[in-house]
Structure 1
């Protein structure tokens, strides 16, 4: 006899594309190398590559600008 299928792992939301916040979370997690398998599978299955590329470039630019700002701030206070 067949086992009853376990539908507890399949939610209705699994068919929807990732939201902005889910994509931002995925981009940040991927940038730091801690992306979960579940989220990566969702992104590759339901996400659009162009959205992730745009968010990745924007995140990288903002991250670089933030680091440059921190360095400038430290140098401003370190040099007499």
Structure 2
């Protein structure tokens, strides 16, 4: 874990961000989404939404979203 923290700091410095927490959050968001992409829910569709989703899609937002929003949308036949 210390090696990762050092890498976050180095990347933050290289990009002149001033805050390695931004890099760390991005790392863990991508890791989470990579794992979720391996899951195929039978009755629902997973949708990545919210401020973090906007930031990852290169939409300019004025604040750093703190959470990761995943919505589960039931397939139509699930309710029948």
Question: What TM-score results when the alignment is normalised by the length of structure 1?
Answer: 0.31
Which of 1 and 2 has greater Rg?
1
Larger % of strand: which? 2
Larger % of helix: which? 1
